[in-house]
Amino acid sequence: MNSLLSTQQLSVNEVETILSRAQFFTKQDITWRTRATVVNLFYEPSTRTCLSFQQAAHALGLTVLDFTVERSSVQKGESLVDTLQTLDAIGVDLAIIRHQEDWPALTTGLNLRLSLINAGSGRYHHPTQALLDALTIQQSFGTLNGLKVTIIGDIFHSRVARSNAHLLKMLGATVQFAGPQQYFATDIPGIAWVDVDQAMEESDVIMMLRIQKERHVAQEYIVDYYEKYGLNDRRLKMIKKDAIILHPGPVNRNVEICDEAMTDPRCKILQQVKNGVAIRKAVIEWCLLGGHNEKLVSA
């Protein structure tokens, strides 16, 4: 069995295999003939990621165990490592984990039987988000090779930016950043920093990031951000006719993106959400079965 902890661990062939399988899942469902158990361990709030993983697991016919951090021994001080070892001893096959820390580093050296999927670790990794973004871009353009992708916002705190920067570059896209200079990330090599208006005019893909209000609490900062960096009505008119608009969600309307942009045909945010289920089906299959296996599934 495999684990998916970061985009860096994947080869181009593995990424293409997952994307191809996910595209299949956008059109057809399967149910496994073998049963496996999965647990979602979400130490941070989530709507899209958590529910799409649950939907994917249920659709594949897996047994999804009920685990809520607030009602678990985590509240008694149990560590993530001890929780994972407990689940492994119980016989769980797959743990899907979101945590505020860079949790994959904590599992180094553990002799675990169960597979692990990273559903978000601190500001470092969010591999399934990058995969679903790649699928959404591929559906619009047929390929990522040669495309210009600009990620706009608080790059420093963004696991989405880090995972996408690596994965999209690996698939042939040019990735650049824009946004407040104080939130530039020095740990992401080989990425140009560009002016927001320039990015709007020249990019094939505009990926807006959520402003993390828990870090920027001043209302005047939020208003200033929208004028300086947001996809407002003025900038919406600057975007190329065949460009697409992405956002990992949740969207702060009229902070990162104006209402008009949310209903623009170029906006693919809901398509991203839909593709999240397909990608997570493909990743679960890749982790537990090592890829598609006709003997273990049925249409």
Phi-psi region of 205 (alpha: psi -120 to 50; beta: other; left: phi over 0): beta
The reply to whether the predicted model has a pTM over 0.85 is yes
Provide CB contacts within 8 A for 286, sequence distance 6+: 2, 4, 14, 17, 18, 21
Residue 150 shares a structural domain with residue 234: yes
Higher per-residue pLDDT: 222 or 270: 270
Structural domain harbouring 214: 127-272
Residue 188 shares a structural domain with residue 85: no
Asked if the model's pLDDT at residue 295 lies above 50, the reply is: no
Residue 1 lies in a domain: no
Q: In this predicted structure, what is the pLDDT of residue 106?
A: 83
Measured on CA atoms in the order 47, 41, 155, 274, is the torsion positive or negative?
negative
Q: Give the range among 160-169, 213-222, 246-255, 272-281 with minimum mean pLDDT.
A: 213-222
| CA distance readout (Å), 24 to 21, 48, 112, 171, 292 | 5, 21, 31, 19, 11
Residue 228 lies in a domain: yes
Q: Give the range among 14-28, 221-235, 285-299 with minimum mean pLDDT.
A: 285-299
209-247, pLDDT tens digit by residue? 998 766 555 666 777 899 999 999 999 999 999 999 999
Higher per-residue pLDDT: 296 or 231: 231
**Among 172, 169, 166, 235, which residue's Cα sits nearest to residue 206?**
235
Residue 98 lies in a domain: yes
Residue 192 shares a structural domain with residue 64: no
Q: In this predicted structure, what is the pLDDT of residue 213?
A: 67
Q: Give the range among 175-179, 276-280, 293-297 with minimum mean pLDDT.
A: 293-297
Residue 191 shares a structural domain with residue 282: no
Q: What is the mean pLDDT of residues 32-39?
A: 87
Distance of alpha carbon 132 from alpha carbon 168, whole angstroms: 11
CATH number of the domain that 163 lies in? Answer: 3.40.50.1370
Dump the DSSP string for 114-133.
SEEEEEEETTTB-HHHHHHH
Residue 187 shares a structural domain with residue 222: yes
Residue 117 lies in a domain: yes
Residue 131 shares a structural domain with residue 268: yes
Residue 11 shares a structural domain with residue 54: yes
Q: In this predicted structure, what is the pLDDT of residue 126?
A: 98
Residue 259 lies in a domain: yes
